[in-house]
Amino acid sequence: DAGVTQSPTHLIKTRGQQVTLRCSPKSGHDTVSWYQQALGQGPQFIFQYYEEEERQRGNFPDRFSGHQFPNYSSELNVNALLLGDSALYLCASSYRDRDYEQYFGPGTRLTVT
Amino acid sequence: AQTVTQSQPEMSVQEAETVTLSCTYDTSESDYYLFWYKQPPSRQMILVIRQEAYKQQNATENRFSVNFQKAAKSFSLKISDSQLGDAAMYFCAYRNYGQNFVFGPGTRLSVLP
């Protein structure tokens, strides 16, 4: 039973570029949440997807967008990258009716130069 | 807005000894969940223990236990018989029903042989 997987592991982008990060949830899970973890800080909630729709959103600008596919996998897109977007991006999956039990992936380390 | 505070940026403990990590939170809600997550250098967040606010009994998971003081809004983690593998960042997190997770800034735990 595969856990939550994320790709790529590491990514380096230039300011102004766009990036797409990918997440496959744990088998059976239908809800995906994304978090940004800046160096030395705790994760901050970006948004959550269920039934292919954004259900909740944290305090992040519209440059951050996402998508969920029918197989429950998800993408996080960030446009017009800023230096401050450099962080570890974590994906977490859960069952919709038990979304207090979140399983995290290993994250994608994004560096913006 | 809910906030989570961890006042100890770093802690150290001798192998086989006991250590307590502190966490306080701010909320006006009466029903919620509290969590401790461990993040080793591999970066993957691992759930250590969960407490439901309506339960008076403190949660325990093997060597890990919590001291939940609802009135004081305090949620400390005790690690008994510390092992080298316990070395990691530990994050306290809060979640209200139907809302997203709020994480504290973390405590870095070192285990000395």
Output the pLDDT for position B105.
96
3-state secondary structure string across chain A: CCCCEEECCEEEECCCCCEEEEEECCCCCCEEEEEEECCCCCCEEEEEEECCEEEEECCCCCCEEEEECCCCCEEEEECCCCHHHCEEEEEEEECHHHCCCCEECCCEEEEEC
Which of A42, A48, A103 shows the shortest C-beta gap to B100?
A48
Output the pLDDT for position B42.
81
Residue B81 in this model has a pLDDT that exceeds 90: yes
| Through-space distance between the first and last CA atoms of chain B, rounded to whole angstroms | 41
Output the pLDDT for position A104.
94
Confidence of residue B41 (pLDDT cuts 50, 70, 90): confident
Output the pLDDT for position A97.
85
pLDDT in tens, B12-29: 999 999 999 999 999 998
Mind giving me the DSSP string for chain B? --EEE---SEEEEETTS-EEE--EEE-S-SSEEEEEEEE-TT---EEEEEEETT--SPPEETTEEEEEETTTTEEEEEE-S--GGG-EEEEEEEEETTS-EEE---EEEEEE-
Among chain B residues, the shortest Cα distance to A92 is held by B45
Output the pLDDT for position B96.
85
**B30 vs A82, residue with greater confidence:** A82
Mean pLDDT in residue range B1-6: 89
pLDDT in tens, A4-63: 999 999 999 999 999 999 999 999 999 999 999 999 899 999 999 999 999 999 999 999
Residue B97 in this model has a pLDDT that exceeds 80: no
Output the pLDDT for position B100.
84
Confidence of residue A96 (pLDDT cuts 50, 70, 90): confident
Which of B4, B44, B100 shows the shortest C-beta gap to A33?
B100
Chain A residues touching B42 at Cβ < 8 A: 106
Output the pLDDT for position A84.
97
Output the pLDDT for position A1.
63
Average pLDDT over all residues of chain B = 94
Cβ-Cβ pairs closer than 8 A, A with B, add up to 48
**A96 vs A32, residue with greater confidence:** A32
Long-range CB contacts (within 8 A, 24+) of B83-89: B83/B15, B83/B111, B84/B15, B84/B111, B84/B113, B85/B111, B86/B13, B86/B38, B86/B111, B87/B40, B87/B111, B88/B38, B88/B39, B88/B40, B88/B41, B89/B38, B89/B39, B89/B40
Which of B99, B101, B105 shows the shortest C-beta gap to A102?
B101
Q: Does A88 touch chain B (CB under 8 A)?
A: yes
Q: What percent of chain B has pLDDT over 90?
A: 85
Mean pLDDT in residue range B55-83: 96
